[in-house]
Amino acid sequence: MQHSTFLVAAFSLCAIGCWAAQPSERVFFAFDDESIPWRSNLKLTMVAADKHPANPVLRRGPEGAPDHGHAVMYGSVLRVGGKFRMWYLGMSQTKIEKGQAPGYWRPMCYAESDDGVHWVKPELGLVEFNGSKQNNICLIEGEPFSFTRVDDFLTVLHEPEEPDPSRRYKCAFIAHVPFDEVRGGRSPIGPNEKRWGSFVCATSADGLRWKVVGDRPMNAGGERFEVSGLYRFGGFYYASGQLLSPWLFRPDGGDIGRAMRVYRSADFVHWDPTTALGFARPGQLIAQPLPGQQTHMGAGVWNRGNVLIGIYGQWQDAPERPPKGAKSHLLGTRVDLGFIVSNDGIHWREPAPDFKIIARGKEGEWDSIALLQAHAFANVGEQTCLWYSHWDCDGEFRNQDIGLATLRRDGFGCLSAIKSDAPAACETAFFDSGKNAKLFINATGVSVASPLKIELLDEKLKVINSASVTESETRVHVMPLPKGRIAVRVSFARGGAARLYAIYVSPQ
């Protein structure tokens, strides 16, 4: 990956927002076997992201700052009005007490950037901290007060078309709420804790001043749910996150450890009490589960209009239980970041089980222990950007900062021929093409001598039009599409080295 031109060239090109590329665009990714179910002599190769040489790109603040203890990308990055906006968790403490930082409060901090690499923490003047309002803490108002004190993962969603200006920014976060403030009582299952990680929602007009919404924490009286994801897909808002045994079970009723659970709401205020098991690692579901394998904190989600991409924590327990008196009960736990996909917002799967989209660094590197995913994605020029964070679960407070990783634009995975001297092809699922829609291809290894043949198929699999792609680009225009229900067939030239990353159907 060539990083030298990343800062200047890539970010000077037309950028696409982080939360959704183009809502009306349909993307057929190579790794999505529901969008491209039909394949012959093709293999999928997933691609790991490259870590940016400037990492970590956002560091902890100086002594006295709200993020002096750590700056963690348990948060979101959105591109709004030509500027990158980041919401992340800060912490001022630099010591762990009894496995939990004191105060149960990690403020929602805010930063801005023009290029996604160099960040500024503006003085918002909204919240008093250490006797001053000269800090980058966002204001969250609500009753009771404990609902406004963020403890863990926060996710921000921007909906500029929302008719109510005060609701154009939405967020969900975890607040540790005392039991006497939980409306609905404690969970009927699980241990009787003194405090409860509750899912809280808030809305904002500007993303800086927030108000808690809803008549109660969504999970009051039910499960101990740790929300980590917020996205809108179809007619519902979905909140995904982490549940663990004893609140969560395998389908057969057995313990599962940490896994991804999904709630839904039609209006962002009232959340349905039923839930769905969104994702668990293969080793959690086999007859004899693999020891210590878990799914950490659900997934950071990128809504691409017709499909959702997710990055989740591949949790692995320490080989041995930490000794008595260790600084952290998680000593020896390690977490890499895996890759999942969903076509309905509910059920998620790994295109390649246990593939690491971002692996933790080598011993001694800044991100060597455990990684944390975020809702932080962007297509910028020829690059896809992913922000992530390091977590020192060993309890030393080392290097808990925020990093950036990059890929070829939408280059998460590609299809290529297994046997190059044999025919190879794939076909998309049928879709409805609107008026003036156009077809684009993202591929490499393509030339005049080794083209990709593109054919449009009707519902009887009859070819109605065809063209050839001879350029290795991230977005090559192929042809206009007829209005109606069609599919796309892509045939690979024999002896070639073509790699297909994505097919785009765009109204523009």
Instruction: Return d(Cα 299, Cα 297) in angstroms, integer.
Output: 6
Say what the pLDDT of residue 16 is. 30
Interval 452-459 mean pLDDT: 98
Residue spans of the domains in the chain: they are: 20-46+413-506
Instruction: Return d(Cα 202, Cα 200) in angstroms, integer.
Output: 7
Strand ranges (E), 81-220: 83-91, 108-113, 119-120, 139-141, 152-158, 169-178, 195-204, 209-213
Sequence-distant (6+) residues with CB within 8 A of 507 are: 24, 25, 434, 435, 436, 437, 438
Q: What is the share, in percent, of the chain residues with pLDDT greater than 70?
A: 88
Instruction: Return d(Cα 417, Cα 321) in angstroms, integer.
Output: 46
Say what the pLDDT of residue 190 is. 58
Which of 109, 113, 90 minimizes the C-alpha distance to 15? 113
Over residues 332-383, the pLDDT tens digits come to 999 999 999 999 999 999 999 999 999 999 999 999 999 999 999 999 999 9
Q: What is the share, in percent, of the chain residues with pLDDT greater than 90?
A: 75
DSSP H or E run through 44: strand 42-46
Say what the pLDDT of residue 351 is. 98
Sign of CA dihedral 452, 454, 459, 463: negative
The pLDDT-based confidence of 79 (bands split at 50, 70, 90) is very high
Say what the pLDDT of residue 347 is. 98
Say what the pLDDT of residue 399 is. 77
Over residues 7-29, the pLDDT tens digits come to 333 333 333 333 233 347 999 99
Say what the pLDDT of residue 191 is. 60
Token pair 């794939």 in the structure block, residue:
426
User: Is residue 498 within 8 Å of residue 450, measured between CB atoms?
Assistant: yes
Locate 430 and state its tokens: 């049928």
What is the rounded radius of gyration, in angstroms, for the C-alpha atoms of the chain? 23
Instruction: Return d(Cα 400, Cα 56) in angstroms, integer.
Output: 9
Say what the pLDDT of residue 1 is. 39
Say what the pLDDT of residue 24 is. 79
Over residues 217-230, the pLDDT tens digits come to 666 555 678 899 99
Q: Which of 123-137, 167-181, 399-413 has the lowest mean pLDDT?
A: 167-181
Interval 235-245 mean pLDDT: 92
Say what the pLDDT of residue 17 is. 31
pLDDT at 177 over 90: no
Q: What is the pTM of this model?
A: 0.92
Say what the pLDDT of residue 18 is. 33
Which of 391, 385, 338 minimizes the C-alpha distance to 367? 391
pLDDT at 133 over 60: yes
Exposure of 124 by Cβ count < 10 A (0-12 exposed, 13-18 middle, 19+ buried)? Answer: middle
The pLDDT-based confidence of 274 (bands split at 50, 70, 90) is confident
Interval 445-449 mean pLDDT: 96
Interval 439-461 mean pLDDT: 97
Q: What is the DSSP string of 390-427?
A: EE-TTTT-----EEEEEEETT-SEEEEESSTTS-EEEE
Over residues 292-345, the pLDDT tens digits come to 999 999 999 999 999 999 999 999 999 999 998 888 889 999 999 999 999 999
The pLDDT-based confidence of 179 (bands split at 50, 70, 90) is low
Domain at 20-46+413-506, CATH homologous superfamily: Galactose-binding domain-like (2.60.120.260)
User: Is residue 357 within 8 Å of residue 48, measured between CB atoms?
Assistant: yes
- How far, in whole angstroms, is CA 198 from its chain's centroid? 21
Sequence-distant (6+) residues with CB within 8 A of 254 are: 289
Q: Which of 135-144, 196-205, 290-299, 455-464 has the lowest mean pLDDT?
A: 196-205
Average pLDDT, the chain: 89
Sign of CA dihedral 346, 376, 416, 430: positive
- For residue 404, list its beta bridge partners: 387
CB-side neighbour CA atoms (13 Å) of 102: 6
Which of 375, 377, 432, 445 minimizes the C-alpha distance to 407? 377
Sign of CA dihedral 336, 337, 342, 347: positive
Specify the amino acid at residue 140: I
pLDDT at 149 over 80: yes
Q: What is the DSSP letter of 43?
A: E
